Chain A
Amino acid sequence: MMQGSIAAARRDVPANRGALVLRLALRELRAGLAGFRIFLACIALGVTAIAGVSSVSQSLTEGLERDGSAILGGDVSFSLIHREANAQERSFLAQRGDVSMAATMRAMARAGEAGASLVEVKAVDAAYPLYGEAPLEPAISLADALSLREGVYGAVADEALFTRLDLKPGARLTVGEAPLEVRAVLKGEPDKLAGGIGFGPRLMMSEAALRATGLLQPGSLVRWHYRLRLADGSGRAAEAVVQAARKALPDAGWEVRTRANASPALERNVERFTQFLTLVGLAALLVGGIGVANAVKAHLDRKRDVIATLKSLGATGGTVFAIYLAQVTGLALIGSTIGAAIGASLPYVVAHVFGALLPLPIAPGLQPDELTLAIVYGVITALAFALWPLGRVHDVPAAALFRDEVAPQRARPRPRYMLGTAAAIALLAGLAVVLAYDRRVAVIFVGSAAAVFVGLRLVALAVMAAARRAPRPRSTILRLAIANIHRPGALTPTVVLSLGLGLAVLVTVTLIEGNLRHQLEAALPERAPAFYFVDIQSADAERFDAFVRQRASSAMLDRVPMLRGRIVSAKRVRAEDLKPAANAAWVLQSDRGITYADTVPAGSRVIEGEWWGADYQGPPLVSLEKRIADGLGVAVGDELVVNVLGRNITARIANLRTLDWQSLGINFVLVYSPGTFRSAPHSDLATLTYLNGSTAAEENALLKAVAASFPAVTTVRVKDALETLAGILAKLVLAIRGASLITIAAAILVLGGALAAGHHHRVYDAVVLKTVGATRVRLVAAYALEYLLLGLATGLFGVAAGSIAAALIVRQVMNFAFVWLPGPAFLAAIVALALTLLFGLVGTLVALGQKPAPVLRNL
């Protein structure tokens, strides 16, 4: 009778199965999460990294959007290089809203005996700033500070200029031909960010003051910005103005930006950097995955009896698998949610703690999309690493309940679980690549991660095989150490994997950081220029050459014509409709320096097409840098239109060049045939290279002399510029290091977990060996030797894998030459080795403290 009712009930099984599986999974978790601490920590760490990076980045992007009008200086901004807006353009702008003009350029500020300094000049009109405020100290009005008093214009400057030239408010400076009175310290500039990196402190003056300097010469590198404040400040209204400008003034050649893309370069950099950090976070998650696999395996080993019991009670292999899958998924969700919660709080922490120091505006907020994605990453990673051990549950024999020793279980789960593992890994890799800003970088990452995993597995197998085949040494200690490496259930695979991965990441980060520093400090080409001179007027050029040669007779002076121009279209496709590769997008973002030349510039090599003859007189030809051409999708023979000085110049691409950006020589993406611009108004750019090196005193003397005799020429000292870059780099390195620390923390956690998992073996061994007369010193020596052997083999691989990864990133992604730095690499390896020994021996000492009797009674 009852059998009948069971039979009838069975028909409903599939419908109720899900609920039953969940119920049993929850009951099974009543024992608590003690065995899952490392599982949860690993997933939470990785997800924290990913969620934190994306939340902070999104908050920065939102900060940039929120402050878009202030950063841009208006609702819409029109920028011109070399020339002011003409009457027609001015009238177009004036009809649409309030206009404010600002001109920016680099110049030299001279302060008599105190010396001269490169300054970033900004000349503003009375309407400045349309949005935000420019606070001064002392707190006087900007109009007052910049006004003409007793024939002298006022100016305000960054604190840095006051320090550099030892100024006090009220001090006099000369810029070009105009004396200026610096009346206040400029404490903030709402539209500073859109201006990009400045190589000198800001010096703000009125438009009239700039005109009085005499620096506004034909071809001078001046940017004229016209900002509009619209009555209707909506995005749609701004876009309508942009469209109207395109239609009414198609050849203006100005760069138009709205609040929505106030600083595309900045957003691009935030996005690019976010990707790097996200990959570092993914690395943390991958390392944590090992911890997940170890924890799941240990959990299932502990549950072997329960699994067998369930099977003896009628549960199918699939049902048991589903129960434990539900548990692991639930735990992964818990770990991921913890990580996402910590990650979500990071923007608030950053805004609160570092808000004042942060160079970007930040609008901290919850980012549901980013947090969900981070949780998805966490759960998929957990599944990718857990499905394999989980799949083996299917075949746990119920016969295990009748006797301890049953036929050994097969190592591989059924094909469906292997396929599931492969699918989870593919999904993880797919997400990483598809969602990446630069897919090439993501593909390199995925490939490297796969190679490191496979490599470490092979290293573990090789180490175990070598230990198995090693001749049996006479020393008991050595024999025990070697046996521990290859015995069944040895820790070798997990230790090698976690230590190896952690070390590989550590070496990669260390070497990248080392290379970045090397680039800026040590790797400067021996014959790098000491100075760049900008805005040398054609009329002054010969005199300038003679002046410099006289004062630096042993140095090499190079001078080339320079103009600025914006790419308007390529192959008849408008620049805004082009789809450039990520590494070439920057070329389209703003104006570029261009030059013309009779012969191939030094440091360049033509690799496709032909250089024009020295006496070429035909229609305009242009030479393009090869990688940029590839990124823009153009080739020899294609047409390129560039707007220079308000005119669209159409030229055919005659050849492609490779060039060495690192030489710091004069490099231009675009080089034209000479006839194109010879008659256009332009200035020259020069570099000065000391062939036998130079002293600071020598350089300072020249800087001062040039500033005094050529007030219009701007001198950029390479060392100062590099220092500015180094400062920025130091901040980036700090962020990379922070994110990498999470990866390394995950690796240490996994390593610690793996060693702890082997603890009961250690206790057993220690007790048995002590019973038969082994002293503690001998046992410690044997264990230390085991860890040392493992650590050495893994260390070598970690250094090799990390070096290859770093070389790939430095060469392929950062486009530098890679220099292998053995010092930092091996230092990282030694640290990792010391950690392994420490972790291993701490566990061992506990094992050695065990009294034999209680353990033996329970064997």
Chain B
Amino acid sequence: MNDLPQFPDSVPAIALSGVNLSLGRGAARVHILKDIDLHIERGAAVGLVGPSGSGKSTLLMVMAGLERPDTGRVVVAGDDLGRLGEDALARFRGRHVGIVFQSFHLIPTMTALENVAVPLELAGLADAFERAEQELVAVGLTERLHHYPAELSGGEQQRVALARALAPNPTILIADEPTGNLDETTGKQIIDLMFAGHAARKTTLVLVTHDAELAARCDRVVRLRSGRIETPREVSA
């Protein structure tokens, strides 16, 4: 599927227009995202903030093609996600989207190196392990390549997860409360690494956080309340 058009710099990395999404069935159905219009430029760092249940994580899922909106259009890296089937979406994620989760979601039966190599292997790269090793070295885990997740501290696990997300050089890097399970010092180290990766690769970063200080490091903050974007405002860099 690499015949997807390469998108020009002028096209936003993420463009959502008129997105609505409800989840659940019958009486339990909840309207989670309401009329979302959002454009994120290529290379920008955007903080998604808002109270619990405001739809932040769901919005991330829509951007990653993990959830399909009921209405509206989602264009990421020039691809209209509404037009991609399940398998094409999976391949799209493999190529364009890196995800960092609050609970790391490393595969427990694989070493740090193997965890980072998986997306590269799935993409069919012959040098998956060499590149995975470089990524782990870059996040300071040279000594931990062959350790299993259970043998790593929380901070180390999140560094592996970050290396895994960055390894395929994704167009967008999305992070869902990446420091939520870490102590303050470790969290700060992860954020530094994440922003360094974002800056070095010009990857678009979308970050869900409750941390105002962290949000302030982003180029732009998008505030969600009850499924709506409240007041998008520019943040001075």
Cβ of B151 within 8 Å of any chain A Cβ, yes or no, is no
Secondary structure at the A interface, as helix, strand, loop or mixed, is helix
CA distance A13 to B95 in the complex (A): 13
Contact B99 A312 (CB under 8 A): yes
Give A23's nearest chain B residue, CB to CB. B121
Contact of A20 with B122 at beta-carbon distance under 8 Å, contacts A7-B2, A11-B2, A305-B105 already known: yes
Contact B169 A402 (CB under 8 A): no
Set of chain A residues within 8 Å of B64, measured between Cβ atoms: 312
Contact string against B for A residues 276-313, beta-carbon threshold 8 Å, 1 for contact and 0 otherwise: 00000000000000000000000000000110111111
Contact string against B for A residues 27-53, beta-carbon threshold 8 Å, 1 for contact and 0 otherwise: 111110000000000000000000000
Contact string against A for B residues 58-102, beta-carbon threshold 8 Å, 1 for contact and 0 otherwise: 101100101100000000000000000011001101110001010
Give A15's nearest chain B residue, CB to CB. B124
B5 vs chain A, min Cβ distance (A): 12
Cβ of A357 within 8 Å of any chain B Cβ, yes or no, is no
Contact B109 A397 (CB under 8 A): no
Set of chain A residues within 8 Å of B109, measured between Cβ atoms: 27-31, 306
Set of chain A residues within 8 Å of B164, measured between Cβ atoms: 313
Contact B90 A20 (CB under 8 A): no
Contact of A3 with B95 at beta-carbon distance under 8 Å, contacts A9-B124, A9-B125, A312-B64 already known: yes
B125 vs chain A, min Cβ distance (A): 5
Give A402's nearest chain B residue, CB to CB. B57
Cβ of B133 within 8 Å of any chain A Cβ, yes or no, is no
Set of chain A residues within 8 Å of B87, measured between Cβ atoms: 316-318
Contact B25 A407 (CB under 8 A): yes
Give A317's nearest chain B residue, CB to CB. B86
Contact B93 A313 (CB under 8 A): yes
Contact of A315 with B122 at beta-carbon distance under 8 Å, contacts A3-B169, A10-B1, A28-B109 already known: yes
CA distance A502 to B112 in the complex (A): 46
Contact of A315 with B169 at beta-carbon distance under 8 Å, contacts A9-B124, A24-B118 already known: no
Contact B169 A9 (CB under 8 A): no
Cβ of B235 within 8 Å of any chain A Cβ, yes or no, is no
B93's partner among A30, A314, A317, A403 (CB-CB below 8 A) is: A314
Contact B118 A313 (CB under 8 A): yes
Given contacts A9-B125, A20-B124, 14 further A-B contacts (CB under 8 A): A9-B123, A9-B126, A10-B2, A10-B95, A10-B124, A16-B124, A27-B107, A27-B110, A27-B114, A308-B105, A310-B107, A318-B87, A399-B67, A407-B24
B135 vs chain A, min Cβ distance (A): 11
Contact A309 B107 (CB under 8 A): yes
Set of chain B residues within 8 Å of A316, measured between Cβ atoms: 86-87, 90-91
Contact string against A for B residues 30-44, beta-carbon threshold 8 Å, 1 for contact and 0 otherwise: 000000000000000
Set of chain B residues within 8 Å of A31, measured between Cβ atoms: 108-109
Set of chain B residues within 8 Å of A3, measured between Cβ atoms: 95, 169, 171
Set of chain B residues within 8 Å of A308, measured between Cβ atoms: 105
Set of chain B residues within 8 Å of A317, measured between Cβ atoms: 86-87, 90
Set of chain A residues within 8 Å of B107, measured between Cβ atoms: 27-28, 306, 309-310
Set of chain B residues within 8 Å of A5, measured between Cβ atoms: 125
Cβ of B156 within 8 Å of any chain A Cβ, yes or no, is no
Set of chain A residues within 8 Å of B176, measured between Cβ atoms: 402
CA distance A398 to B94 in the complex (A): 13
Cβ of B23 within 8 Å of any chain A Cβ, yes or no, is yes
Contact B99 A10 (CB under 8 A): no
List 5 A–B pairs whose Cβ atoms lie within 8 Å, in order of A's numbering: A2-B168, A30-B109, A316-B90, A406-B23, A407-B24
Contact A313 B126 (CB under 8 A): no
Cβ of B50 within 8 Å of any chain A Cβ, yes or no, is no
CA distance A633 to B58 in the complex (A): 73
Set of chain B residues within 8 Å of A407, measured between Cβ atoms: 23-25
A6's partner among B61, B66, B168 (CB-CB below 8 A) is: B168
Contact of A313 with B94 at beta-carbon distance under 8 Å, contacts A29-B109, A403-B57 already known: yes
A417 vs chain B, min Cβ distance (A): 14
Cβ of B227 within 8 Å of any chain A Cβ, yes or no, is no
Cβ of A789 within 8 Å of any chain B Cβ, yes or no, is no
A547 vs chain B, min Cβ distance (A): 89
Set of chain B residues within 8 Å of A11, measured between Cβ atoms: 2, 124
Set of chain A residues within 8 Å of B67, measured between Cβ atoms: 399
Contact A399 B124 (CB under 8 A): no
B95's partner among A7, A27, A406 (CB-CB below 8 A) is: A7
Contact A309 B95 (CB under 8 A): no
> How many A residues touch the partner, as a band?
35 or more
Give A395's nearest chain B residue, CB to CB. B86
CA distance A6 to B99 in the complex (A): 18
Cβ of B197 within 8 Å of any chain A Cβ, yes or no, is no
Cβ of A12 within 8 Å of any chain B Cβ, yes or no, is yes
B151 vs chain A, min Cβ distance (A): 13
B160 vs chain A, min Cβ distance (A): 12
Which B104-146 residues sit within 8 Å CB-CB of chain A? 105-110, 114, 118-126
CA distance A857 to B60 in the complex (A): 30
CA distance A28 to B124 in the complex (A): 19
Set of chain A residues within 8 Å of B126, measured between Cβ atoms: 9, 12
Give B3's nearest chain A residue, CB to CB. A7
Contact of A319 with B122 at beta-carbon distance under 8 Å, contacts A27-B114, A29-B109 already known: yes
A201 vs chain B, min Cβ distance (A): 68
CA distance A309 to B107 in the complex (A): 8
Contact B119 A313 (CB under 8 A): yes
CA distance A458 to B16 in the complex (A): 48
Set of chain A residues within 8 Å of B101, measured between Cβ atoms: 401-402
Q: Which 3 A-B pairs have the closest CB atoms?
A: A314-B94, A7-B2, A2-B169
Contact B60 A402 (CB under 8 A): yes
Contact string against B for A residues 403-436, beta-carbon threshold 8 Å, 1 for contact and 0 otherwise: 1001100000000000000000000000000000
Contact B66 A314 (CB under 8 A): no
CA distance A306 to B104 in the complex (A): 11
B3 vs chain A, min Cβ distance (A): 9
Give B122's nearest chain A residue, CB to CB. A314
Contact B61 A314 (CB under 8 A): no
CA distance A7 to B2 in the complex (A): 5
CA distance A313 to B163 in the complex (A): 12
B112 vs chain A, min Cβ distance (A): 13
Give B96's nearest chain A residue, CB to CB. A3
Set of chain A residues within 8 Å of B58, measured between Cβ atoms: 402
CA distance A10 to B99 in the complex (A): 20
Contact of A6 with B108 at beta-carbon distance under 8 Å, contacts A24-B118, A317-B87 already known: no
CA distance A12 to B120 in the complex (A): 13
B208 vs chain A, min Cβ distance (A): 10
A255 vs chain B, min Cβ distance (A): 67
Give B60's nearest chain A residue, CB to CB. A402
Set of chain B residues within 8 Å of A318, measured between Cβ atoms: 87
CA distance A400 to B47 in the complex (A): 22
A399's partner among B1, B66, B95 (CB-CB below 8 A) is: B66
A299 vs chain B, min Cβ distance (A): 12
Set of chain B residues within 8 Å of A315, measured between Cβ atoms: 90, 94, 122
Set of chain A residues within 8 Å of B108, measured between Cβ atoms: 31, 306
CA distance A7 to B118 in the complex (A): 16
Contact B91 A398 (CB under 8 A): no
Set of chain A residues within 8 Å of B86, measured between Cβ atoms: 316-317
Give A406's nearest chain B residue, CB to CB. B23
A314's partner among B24, B57, B95 (CB-CB below 8 A) is: B95
Set of chain B residues within 8 Å of A310, measured between Cβ atoms: 107, 118, 122
CA distance A804 to B22 in the complex (A): 52
Set of chain A residues within 8 Å of B125, measured between Cβ atoms: 5-6, 9
Which B194-222 residues sit within 8 Å CB-CB of chain A? none
Contact A6 B169 (CB under 8 A): yes
CA distance A523 to B97 in the complex (A): 78
CA distance A319 to B124 in the complex (A): 13
Set of chain B residues within 8 Å of A8, measured between Cβ atoms: 2
CA distance A562 to B44 in the complex (A): 106
CA distance A311 to B87 in the complex (A): 10
CA distance A28 to B114 in the complex (A): 11
Which A782-799 residues sit within 8 Å CB-CB of chain B? none
Set of chain A residues within 8 Å of B94, measured between Cβ atoms: 313-315
CA distance A5 to B128 in the complex (A): 11
CA distance A28 to B24 in the complex (A): 32
